Structure 1
Amino acid sequence: MKPKHTFITAAETLIRDGEARVRMGQNSARLVPDYKDRLRCHCAPFFGDTPLANIDSAMLRRFRDELVAKGLKQATVLVVMSFVSKTLRMAHDDGLIRQMPAIPRKGQKPSPRPAFTAATYTKLLTTLKQVEKGKPVIAFKGNRVDWELRAIVTFMVNTFTRPGDVFALKNEHIIVVPEDADGPAYLRIDAPSSKGHEAPIISMPVAVPVYQRTIERHRKAGFGKPDDYVFLPSKKKRAYAHELVRRQFRLVLKHAGLLQSTKGVEHSLYSLRHTAITLRLLHAKDLDLLTLARTARTSVEMIDRFYASSLTAELNRDKLHSFRRPTRFLTDGVSPVVAKGSCA
């Protein structure tokens, strides 16, 4: 007789709970497809109809080792093991198992996606403009790269948005805040909750004309209403819209010779968010990390671990070497005198 409570039945319960949380706006729509992929591709083939009561730490270690043997990256192994952990935790909370087995984990080293430099970002935009004109024609399954891919790229770099979130954006989520005495116009993006963050995103000024041109083009095609999606509004299946843009972007990167960073790591759509944050870290004047973290819907810790990890002190040596008040520390042709209040 087939056991009543198996890993698969427990995982299906977790997925149903995820669907409910997505409907309530607590998680992004990407959560459920990700859960289903982890169950179908990795967990179901290994656990099958194994009763929950028979899953112990030794079995979980074998499962982890099998994932590693498949050649999966460490980050992928970690998210799959996290799915297993959540499944068993819910089973424990529901009284289906008496004790939660220890989940084997391995410390994750920060592995940030590479950002584009100012030079490579300029090259990317130049390539996108050429491709729009058909020089050359680049398409994925009959969907030709046009003006909208460049709009998405520029929008992401000037709004700090995550790839999954940008395809969930609707026009009703965006307000154009006009120019005033404090500065130029910008977008206030009150997007659905993402990664547990709900604060509005404050864009860079460049995002305003990018958004305005985008919505004007869509209005000519019958879209642009408040409840229409900002990008690819004709694609009702947002996972498909995301995947289409991801594939088109990869083809453009290959054509431009920008698929990999100088360290051999592949660029992706997520590199655009990384680029947005990195450029602000490099070029913003006196911007504190908390403000940047709030508008990028992340934390100061995450910026330090993943986004600022590629920056060195030498890149901001002008700030490092600056003084609040005039000092005799630097003198012409004379040995430097230690400034008052400094350590030497």
Structure 2
Amino acid sequence: MKINTNSNKPETSAGKERHRSLPSEISYIKGYPEKLFIYRLPASPFWWVRYYIAGKTVRRSTKHEGKQQAIAFAKDFYSQLIIEYKGASSAKSTSNFEVVAKEMLLAEEAKLARGELSEITYKNTKYRFEKFILPFFRKKDVKSVDYYELEKFLNSVSDKSLTPSTLSAYLGLIRKVFSYALRRKIISQIPEFPTVKVKAVPRGWFTPNEYLKVQRAARKFAGVKIDVRKWKDENGETQTQYIRSDSKPFKKKGDLMRCVEMTEDLRKLIVFMSHSYIRPSDIRLLKHSHVDVVTGDYKYLRLRLPPTKGHGDPITTMPTAVRVYLE
């Protein structure tokens, strides 16, 4: 038996309202969770934003008719919800240092999602909080932390073989927590901080003769295999031995950890780095898609590396880097 679903009864006002509340257009936001999206309603000229969090759906009008403005509103909306809801389940006081620090880290995570912060910076920040900052301040109240408490923290990490610049960076992260607490009106002022005298230490450098020696050594060892071995000395301390794989067995110590084959690529890398000013830590990020060969009065490379440590400007190389890159 067929049931006719097309009723001849006139549509009620409630039915019309339900129809007008159904989205006529949905747009997801690149780089954000799929639970976050903007949508249009027949009953409103504005875009709306929707996000599902903590077991419930949160909706809000963006008050914008333009899509790009609505997306920008949605990103801010998402960041605020993350800050408000992720820490809401904690039974601790909102002025507890750990709670405030974790909320600040959530705000940093939102910056990462928006592309305002590099991944390595976020990971370093999180690592430093978990390593020394939270273990010391975890149970403290941000309202009660003063200069003396900060000085005790500084003294506690001063024997960890950390450089003055690293100690200063730790204090900078703690200050960031207090700045966040001040903006949230959890505290009325930021306490005075102890200072760490950071002495400018220029990076090491090679003389032209030393640079040539490094190049020649890299060329000489191309094709040679090196054993990396671990052994214990008479004091029981672990030592590392680097020795050619073809050396006589009686010269080798301890256990073989790995074998490394030196290649001609190492020499090329040394030449490329010295003529492009690129840092060793950035080499692993470099792809062919980041390299432009520029020709004109001069021939050089333009390196468009992903931003790291706040540096995002292209690198202009010396002409020699072009030759090594194209080999």
Same fold? TM cut 0.5? yes
Q: Give the counterpart letter for 1:163 in structure 2.
A: P
**Cα deviations across residues 224-271 of structure 1 (Å, max 9, x unaligned)?**
xxxxxxxxxxxxxxxxxxxxxxxxxxxxxxxxxxxxxxxxxxxxxxxx
How far apart in 2 are the matches of 1:165 and 1:7?
35
Equivalent position of 2:189 in the other structure:
99
> 1:154/1:76 Cα in 2 relative to 1: closer, same or farther (>3 Å)?
same
* Alignment of structure 1 residues 250-265 onto 2, 5 Å: none
Equivalent position of 1:144 in the other structure:
260
Report the alpha carbon displacement of residue 81 of structure 1 after superposing the two structures with TM.
Answer: 1.1
Tell which structure's C-alpha radius of gyration is larger: 2
For structure 1, list consecutive stretches of 5 or more residues without a partner in the other structure: 214-344
Equivalent position of 1:284 in the other structure:
none
Q: Give the counterpart letter for 2:273 in structure 1.
A: M
How far apart in 2 are the matches of 1:24 and 1:90?
19
> 1:76/1:199 Cα in 2 relative to 1: closer, same or farther (>3 Å)?
closer
**Cα deviations across residues 142-166 of structure 1 (Å, max 9, x unaligned)?**
4725444444433322212233433
Q: Does 1:56 align with 2:170?
A: no
Report the alpha carbon displacement of residue 196 of structure 1 after superposing the two structures with TM.
Answer: 4.0
Q: What secondary structure, in the 3-state scheme, does the structure 2 residue paired with 1:116 have?
A: coil
How far apart in 1 are the matches of 2:306 and 2:270?
20
> 1:41/1:144 Cα in 2 relative to 1: closer, same or farther (>3 Å)?
same
How far apart in 2 are the matches of 1:105 and 1:201?
34
How far apart in 1 are the matches of 2:268 and 2:279?
15
Report sequence identity in percent: 29
Equivalent position of 2:270 in the other structure:
153
Equivalent position of 2:22 in the other structure:
none
TM value normalised by structure 1: 0.54
How far apart in 1 are the matches of 2:102 and 2:323?
44
> 1:63/1:211 Cα in 2 relative to 1: closer, same or farther (>3 Å)?
same
Q: Give the counterpart letter for 2:271 in structure 1.
A: T
> Which of 287, 291, 297 in structure 2 is aligned with 1:170?
287
> 1:55/1:27 Cα in 2 relative to 1: closer, same or farther (>3 Å)?
same
How far apart in 2 are the matches of 1:166 and 1:22?
22
> Which of 192, 202, 209 in structure 1 is aligned with 2:306?
192
Q: What secondary structure, in the 3-state scheme, does the structure 2 residue paired with 1:87 have?
A: helix
How far apart in 2 are the matches of 1:28 and 1:68?
28
How far apart in 2 are the matches of 1:5 and 1:143?
53
> 1:136/1:163 Cα in 2 relative to 1: closer, same or farther (>3 Å)?
closer
> 1:24/1:116 Cα in 2 relative to 1: closer, same or farther (>3 Å)?
farther
How far apart in 1 are the matches of 2:259 and 2:283?
19
Q: What secondary structure, in the 3-state scheme, does the structure 1 residue paired with 2:293 have?
A: strand
How far apart in 1 are the matches of 2:273 and 2:115?
22
* Alignment of structure 1 residues 266-277 onto 2, 5 Å: none
Q: What secondary structure, in the 3-state scheme, does the structure 1 residue paired with 2:179 have?
A: helix
Report the alpha carbon displacement of residue 137 of structure 1 after superposing the two structures with TM.
Answer: 4.9
- The structure carrying a bigger strand percent of its residues is 2
Q: Give the counterpart letter for 2:165 in structure 1.
A: A
How far apart in 2 are the matches of 1:20 and 1:187?
34
CA contact (8 A) 1:131 1:137 kept: no
Q: Does 1:75 align with 2:165?
A: yes
CA contact (8 A) 2:300 2:321 kept: yes
Q: What secondary structure, in the 3-state scheme, does the structure 1 residue paired with 2:319 have?
A: coil
Report the alpha carbon displacement of residue 35 of structure 1 after superposing the two structures with TM.
Answer: 0.9
How far apart in 1 are the matches of 2:113 and 2:221?
38
> 1:195/1:31 Cα in 2 relative to 1: closer, same or farther (>3 Å)?
closer
* Alignment of structure 1 residues 162-311 onto 2, 5 Å: 162-178=279-295, 180=296, 182-183=297-298, 185-213=299-327
Q: Give the counterpart letter for 2:277 in structure 1.
A: F
Q: What secondary structure, in the 3-state scheme, does the structure 1 residue paired with 2:211 have?
A: helix
> Which of 197, 209, 222 in structure 2 is aligned with 1:132?
222
How far apart in 1 are the matches of 2:143 and 2:259?
49
CA contact (8 A) 1:46 1:63 kept: yes
Q: What secondary structure, in the 3-state scheme, does the structure 2 residue paired with 1:188 have?
A: strand
Runs of 4+ displaced beyond 6 Å: none
How far apart in 2 are the matches of 1:137 and 1:170?
30
- The structure carrying a bigger helix percent of its residues is 1
How far apart in 2 are the matches of 1:96 and 1:206?
57
**Cα deviations across residues 109-159 of structure 1 (Å, max 9, x unaligned)?**
211221222222222223333343216456896472544444443332221
**Cα deviations across residues 264-292 of structure 1 (Å, max 9, x unaligned)?**
xxxxxxxxxxxxxxxxxxxxxxxxxxxxx
Report the alpha carbon displacement of residue 168 of structure 1 after superposing the two structures with TM.
Answer: 2.6
Q: Does 1:41 align with 2:131?
A: yes
**Cα deviations across residues 57-102 of structure 1 (Å, max 9, x unaligned)?**
2101111122223332212211111111122212222222221112
Q: How many residue pairs get matched?
A: 210
TM value normalised by structure 2: 0.56
Aligned-residue Cα RMSD (Å) equals: 2.8
How far apart in 1 are the matches of 2:261 and 2:187?
51
